[in-house]
Amino acid sequence: MAETTEIAEITENQDVKSTAASEAPPTVIVDDLHIVYRVYGAGGTRGNAPAAFRRILKRQKSPNVREVHAIRGISFTAHRGESIGLIGRNGSGKSTLLRAIAGLLPPTRGAVYTDGQPTLLGVNAALMSDLTGERNIILGCLAMGMTPAQAREHYDDIVEFSGLGDFIDLPMRTYSSGMAQRLRFAIAAVKSHDVLMIDEALATGDAEFRRRSEERIRQLREEAGTVFLVSHSLDVVTQTCTRAIWLDKGIIKMDGDADTVVKAYTKAIQAAGARRANRRRRQPTASE
């Protein structure tokens, strides 16, 4: 049965594979995880009510449902103090894996065990576009479990970290996507997290903001949390992460120290590029 559970609930001798040679206590255990999306209305005819009713009676699937098997049996263990970069091509399953660890997507098969509350900081983090940056800071702090007094205490630090200046008084819908992302990161980063997950947050900031974010991620790691970072910027991964997991079509292609995995991934991309170029060269053109 699929589940998302606290680590304390699993028995000590459970057989869960880990490639990280870490002695630190585990914070996240992903055990043979499968995530299947069901896409309704995917092609075909729209059908009609009697046909749908017959299908329900016969317990048949709708012919218009397509299944996307995004994560195909992933297992790993993350430890306290690790900063793990998730890398891989578009559609390889990075965001899906983060959302599953955050408990936002129920496993179709397998399980995710977490120690403490994971926080997902992503493009869709729940801030309100009609509210000002100022109101959103308070909202975000309360959503992370702070009291109103604690939220007020952290307010100035968040504004300063975000670097938004006077924009903080304007509604968030007036922000560029980079500015909104900076605010989200600034809110999430003010607190120590057991497990902090960042989906491409650093890609949108300018160089100075990126430097501050990288520094903060290092501190968060030192504060004994675990950080997951999805990024297409391989430089950010090697500079910020101690470990990298390379996903390919929903499975783990490689898991190890960040430099080694990024090097192998870069080599594979270059080799694939060279193969494509060769194929193009071998294809006769219309004029030949």
Ligand X SMILES: Nc1ncnc2c1ncn2[C@@H]1O[C@H](COP(=O)(O)OP(=O)(O)OP(=O)(O)O)[C@@H](O)[C@H]1O
Instruction: Supply the minimum distance, in Å, between the C-beta of residue 126 and ligand X.
Output: 17
- Closest CB to ligand X among residues 81, 205: 205
CA distance 124 to 159: 20
Instruction: Supply the minimum distance, in Å, between the C-beta of residue 30 and ligand X.
Output: 14
**Relative orientation angle of helices 207-222 and 177-189, to the nearest 10 degrees:** 20
- Closest CB to ligand X among residues 3, 67: 67
In one-letter notation, the amino acid at residue 139 is L
Count of positions on this chain that bind ligand X (CB under 6 A) = 12
- Closest CB to ligand X among residues 96, 181: 96
- Closest CB to ligand X among residues 55, 249: 249
Residues 4-43 touching ligand X, rule: CB under 6 A, are 37, 39
Query: Under a CB-based contact definition with an 8 Å cutoff, are residues 172 and 127 in contact?
Result: yes
Nearest CA to 121 among 153, 95, 146, 139? 95
Q: x/- string (CB under 6 A) for ligand X, residues 68-107?
A: x-x-----------------x-xxxxxxx-----------
Instruction: Supply the minimum distance, in Å, between the C-beta of residue 123 and ligand X.
Output: 9
Q: Beginning with the edge strand found earlier in the chain, give each strand of the sheet holding 195-199 in spatial order.
A: 118-121, 195-199, 226-230, 83-87, 243-248, 251-257
Instruction: Supply the minimum distance, in Å, between the C-beta of residue 75 and ligand X.
Output: 17
Nearest CA to 118 among 138, 143, 98? 98
State the maximum Cα–Cα separation within the chain, in Å, rounded to a whole number.
76
- Closest CB to ligand X among residues 86, 138: 86
| List of residues contacting ligand X (CB under 6 A) | 37, 39, 68, 70, 88, 90-96
